[in-house]
Amino acid sequence: MSDSEHTPYEPEQGSIPLPEQVLAPTAQTADDSLGLFHSWPQTEIARPKRIPHFGHLCLLTLLALAGSICGAALVMAGMHFHIYGVTTMDQAKSNVCYTLGSTAALYLVAFLPSLAFFPLFWKKSFFAGVHWRGATALRLGWKLPAISVGCFTLALLNQALLPGPKHAPIEDIFRSPGAAWLMFGFGVVFAPFFEEMAFRGFMLPALATAWDWAIEKSTGKPARPLDENGHPQWSIFAMVIASIPASILFALMHTEQQGRSLSLFLLFITISMILCAVRIVTRSLAASTVVHACYNFMLFFLMLVSTGGFRHLDKL
């Protein structure tokens, strides 16, 4: 056998390579192809997002600020045109139409755009993003009203042991049966829904997620996986820490109308902590909303009974 039979074929420069040279991969091309196809699935897998996060809370805060400005503008316009005979800010604060009108403006401006904006970021519906889960609230049944009974009992004990001020600013709104009925309907239907959306739908999960994110970044721990429903799973410490500022802000919002009573401030913090616990344990914003609405209903129903159907408001 000659040496030419053992010498591999080497094409001359500019010649066309044989088919086996084209098809047979070198070690370098094999490694490159392996790296290419190995990394391809990773680029297709979206990183799980924990929502609502702190950025979403900031956006909602900006919308709420815009709603407050709109509400204040409506009040100023009403005073300018002497609607319902209101000409001063003190009169506006004690007029149920001005009070509920400005509050409704805040709610609508803050949350109507949210129904369109946030689904664009979340890639899911608004109520799925805030973990509404109405079916969970329905499944819990009587347990949620039972929790509201406990909250109502705490309110009665607070009033008996640490009575609030003799006259609270909110009492000025209850000047007529019509005003009382409007407050009843608004306080049972609309207020719990929007307040829970703000405090337990956005603020609580955003603060809990921010706390866990900060710990992960500082310690290098991996992020907790989302649960089977795509909801974030927070550490126990994050849930406790997030509940405290959410409850303090919730209490501050309510004690202004209650005469800045310390006893009521502490009561509202306690009620809010219970609502936070319901939201966290059930993983359902609808559940905490039901508890909140039932609690408000009991307060207004007690007022309804004690005033003879709002006919004797002087007994408040």
Q: What is the pLDDT of residues 248-282, one digit of tens each?
A: 999 999 987 787 889 999 999 999 999 999 999 99
Does the pLDDT value for residue 147 go beyond 80?
Answer: yes
**Containing structural domain, residue 60:** 51-127
In a domain, residue 46? The reply is no
Domain boundary among 127, 159, 184: 127
Tokens of 86: 């209101």
3-state secondary structure of 229: coil
Are residues 225 and 307 both part of a single domain? yes
Angle 307-308-311 (CA atoms, 0-180°, nearest 5)?
A: 80
Place of tokens 């706390």: 211
Total domain count, the chain: 2
Let me know: does 102 contact 71? Beta carbons within 8 Å: yes
In a domain, residue 15? The reply is no
Does the pLDDT value for residue 32 go beyond 70?
Answer: no
| pLDDT tier for residue 26 given thresholds of 50, 70 and 90 | very low
Are residues 150 and 177 both part of a single domain? yes
3-state secondary structure of 148: helix
Are residues 160 and 259 both part of a single domain? yes
Q: Which residues contact 130 (CB under 8 A, 6 or more apart)?
A: 52, 197, 201, 202, 285
In a domain, residue 36? The reply is no
Let me know: does 121 contact 273? Beta carbons within 8 Å: no
Dihedral angle over CA of 147, 258, 178, 66, nearest 10: -90
Q: What is the mean pLDDT of residues 55-60?
A: 97
Are residues 144 and 73 both part of a single domain? no
Are residues 108 and 136 both part of a single domain? no
In a domain, residue 33? The reply is no
Does the pLDDT value for residue 21 go beyond 60?
Answer: no
Task: Please list the helix, strand and coil fractions of the chain in percent, rounded to the nearest 5, in that order.
Answer: 75, 0, 25
